[in-house]
Amino acid sequence: MNATVEWGDEPLRWQDVARVARGKAILTLSDSVWSRLAQGREIVALIVASGHVAYGVNTGLGALCNISLPEEQLSQLSRNTLLSHACGVGPLLDEAQTRAIMCAAIANYSHGKSGISPAIVEQLLAFLNQQITPQVPSQGSVGYLSHMAHIGLALMGVGDVGWQGAVVPAEQALAEAGLKPISPGAKEGLSLVNGTPCMTGLACLALDDAQRLLDWADVTGAMSFEALRGQIVAFDEEILALKASPGIQHSGARLRRLLADSALLAESVGVRTQDALSLRSMPQVHGACRDQFSHARQQVETELNACTDNPLVLGTPENWRVVSQANPHGESVAMACDVLAIAMAELGSMSERRLDRLVNPLVSGLPAFLVAKPGVNSGMMIAQYVAASLCGENKQLAQPAVLDNFVTSALQEDHLSLGTGSALKLHRLLGNLYHIIGIEYLLAAQALHFHGENKLAPGTRQSLALLRETVAPWEDDRWLAPEIGKAVNVLKHHQPGF
């Protein structure tokens, strides 16, 4: 039975988005959320009945904000908003990405400030919990709008969805799941496309991958360090304490635990005065990446707990306000994703430099390209090429997206965060990083094979044993691509023990 996550009365965490989106945990909302939703929807009804002119409630959208609409056209406005905004292009988001966006949308609505009806939020929850996944094109957002519009259409029974292992018309999935298409009323079309759920949901998944990769980089780095007979004094606790960085202290402590009681390192003391920076500066570089992760996490969780709609309805049915403002601007999440992309690219760059040393007999003291019979065998030679290629691509993906800008909606929206693009390129970068770290894992394990397991630290021996469950040591060349895939699979499905 799937675990259950309840939202509504405590601060929301990115881990819960990942649990629902990837782990298929059941999402529920507290009674207080349903009360807030009902109150917000009542305020929208009062706005419409009063004739008070409010952007997006009874006016056109964007540059059409000064066109007032009669009450009888407001439902049509909402439906048309979804149809006109659902114009994404390119490859589809994967299932977890779409589910994460829906989670972040529900988080936004749960404050009751969007004025969206409880029935629409119930439909979103049903989609999540019954695993009905709208087919959403990945490209076409300058920060918001298009992705959620495709999701909104699916709630109406328009478009295609993933359902029970197949892609089917949304109308069919709704009928088979016992659901009815929604009919959005005043403001609801705008609420469904507005805000920052897209970039925020995607950023939560990126944090999930980044945290796992940070932990694994310490592990594969420790394995490479031991295989290359590093000088462990560089990780001295007193030395690292002289830099007051939580990330440095954390990575340094993990490396010391992973390498504790290594007979190989004990007998290697003094074989060189100091190691290359890719080895001895692991606490400093991995730690800096961890510090940037902490900053990104704070920014993303702030947004996850925010009201990001426009307009927002405030107060009570007896004393309400409706305010047009700019909370849908996703600058902080865009910056967080850009900064995290730089940090993760650096993590990969360090890994590639370490694995390059493993295959180079001039510095490794090991057989060339980590194969016992070089010449007839090329061993791990080209695996390093692959890692270098992925690092090169990651340098391109680490270029900030938030610094770019365009003008949309006839000058009405003349500064854009491009946060969804930032989050998506971060996802691509992290996908590359899984392969870079996976290649280091494979190569470091092969290098340690030449030293003999009895000399290894318990920590690295444990990590080696985990890989050896699916990947055997090399004696002669064999098809390498599937073995890289197996190493990546270990990274994705196991948490490091240290």
The shares of helix, strand and coil residues in the chain, as percent rounded to the nearest 5, are 60, 10, 35
The C-alpha atoms of residue 220 and residue 300 are separated, in whole angstroms, by: 28
Q: How far is CA 143 from the centre of its chain?
A: 16
The C-alpha atoms of residue 43 and residue 321 are separated, in whole angstroms, by: 9
Which residues have C-beta within 8 Å of that of residue 457, sequence separation ≥ 6? Answer: 222, 226, 258, 259, 260, 261, 262, 264, 265
Report the chain's C-alpha Rg in angstroms. Answer: 26
The C-alpha atoms of residue 134 and residue 93 are separated, in whole angstroms, by: 9
* CB-CB contact of 359 with 381 (8 Å): yes
The C-alpha atoms of residue 235 and residue 423 are separated, in whole angstroms, by: 34
Q: How far is CA 491 from the centre of its chain?
A: 16
Q: Report strand pairing: 4-7 vs 26-29.
A: parallel
Extract the tokens encoding 262.
């290594």
Per DSSP, the residues of 81-122 read HHHHH---EEEEPPHHHHHHHHHHHHHHHTTS-S---HHHHH
Extract the tokens encoding 249.
């202290």
**Short-list 181, 169, 194, 232, CA closest to 56:** 194
* CB-CB contact of 362 with 383 (8 Å): no
Tell me the three state secondary structure of residue 195. Answer: coil
| φ and ψ of 365, to 5 deg | 70, 15
Q: Report strand pairing: 160-163 vs 133-134.
A: antiparallel
Which one of 55, 109, 144, 434 is the catalytic residue? 55
Extract the tokens encoding 258.
């992973």
* CB-CB contact of 154 with 179 (8 Å): no
The C-alpha atoms of residue 236 and residue 247 are separated, in whole angstroms, by: 15
Contacts of residues 305-308 at CB distance under 8 Å and 24 or more positions apart, as own/partner, are 305/11, 305/12, 305/107, 306/108, 306/196, 307/108, 307/111, 307/113, 307/114, 308/108, 308/194, 308/195, 308/196, 308/197, 308/200
Respond yes or no: is residue 55 known to be catalytic. yes
Instruction: Indicate which residues carry an active-site annotation.
Output: 55
